[in-house]
């Protein structure tokens, strides 16, 4: 059964919680849909294994990453950017249809994402507060899907600094960043190891869907 075929649960039709412009759909994916999506992530990993990329300064990120779609986000000693191929030259695998379907249902925009970043957080992994602005057109939304262990998500401001708000994201939660929220600083402080058994080997997977290449 695909996510598209599964009947919408009560949470899916509920109004999202909005925090600083981030629309948080708690429990958007029920347990069968989460399992189906996790299986699709496993197929992505078969063709494009998660790697811990290094920064410009040669330090590996604590998060292991891979991508699906025409363009994948990566970083190495030349800096960070979107690339049409994996470091070994192979193309990224296609974005699973169930994610394209989810994108259409939660955003309603007339374009499809051309990139799906797949982040893997094992114990101790984190992501510092940052903005995402490597995409050509910054007005399209970004959609995040959480699978596996719970994560403490921190939401800041358009500018660096200032007060932040934190909330726990759980497996099956979907967050839509649109409008001003698209350029808001955000990060993951920590995960709660062992809080879910969904990810083989443990940890958390976050999928972010983005429109990266120019659409016009």
Does residue number 117 form part of the binding site for ligand MD3 (CB under 6 A)? yes
Does residue number 98 form part of the binding site for ligand MD3 (CB under 6 A)? no
Does residue number 127 form part of the binding site for ligand MD3 (CB under 6 A)? yes
* Cα distances (Å, whole numbers) of residue 34 to 2, 47, 173, 193: 10, 20, 10, 18
Question: CB–CB of 97/44 below 8 Å?
Answer: no
Q: Which of 83, 132, 134, 189 binds Fe ion (CB under 5 A)?
A: 132
Q: Rounded CA gap, 94 and 73, in Å?
A: 14
Rank residues 93 and 121 by Cβ distance to ligand MD3 and give the closer one.
Answer: 121
Q: How far is the CB of 41 from Fe ion (least distance, A)?
A: 18
Question: Which residues face 166 on adjacent strands?
Answer: 154
Of residues 17 through 56, those in contact with ligand MD3 by CB under 6 A are none
> SS3 of 142, please?
strand
For Fe ion, what does the binding mask look like between residues 75 and 114, x meaning CB under 5 A?
A: ----------------------------------------
Q: Decide: residue 77, CB within 10 A, 0-12 exposed, 13-18 middle, 19+ buried.
A: exposed
> SS3 of 149, please?
coil
Q: Which of 25, 122, 154, 182 binds ligand MD3 (CB under 6 A)?
A: 182
Of residues 136 through 175, those in contact with ligand MD3 by CB under 6 A are 142, 144, 151, 175
């Amino acid at each position: 059964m695909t996510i598209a075929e599964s009947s919408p649960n009560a949470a899916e039709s509920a109004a999202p919680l909005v925090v600083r412009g981030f629309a948080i759909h708690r429990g958007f994916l029920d347990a069968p849909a989460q399992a189906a999506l996790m299986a699709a992530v496993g197929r992505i990993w078969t063709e494009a294994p998660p790697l811990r990329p290094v920064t410009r300064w040669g330090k590996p990120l604590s998060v292991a990453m891979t991508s699906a779609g025409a363009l994948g986000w990566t970083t190495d000693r030349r800096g960070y950017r979107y690339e049409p191929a994996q470091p070994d030259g192979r193309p990224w695998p296609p974005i699973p249809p169930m994610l394209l379907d989810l994108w259409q249902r939660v955003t309603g925009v007339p374009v499809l994402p051309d990139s799906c970043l797949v982040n893997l957080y094992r114990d101790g992994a984190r992501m510092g507060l940052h903005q995402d602005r490597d995409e050509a057109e910054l007005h399209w939304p970004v959609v995040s899907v959480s699978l596996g262990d719970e994560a403490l998500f921190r939401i800041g401001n358009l500018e660096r600094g200032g007060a932040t708000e934190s909330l726990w994201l759980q497996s099956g939660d979907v967050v839509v960043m649109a409008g001003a929220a698209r350029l808001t600083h955000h990060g993951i402080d920590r995960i709660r190891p062992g809080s879910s058994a969904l990810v083989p080997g443990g940890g958390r997977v976050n999928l972010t869907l983005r429109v990266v290449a120019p659409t016009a």
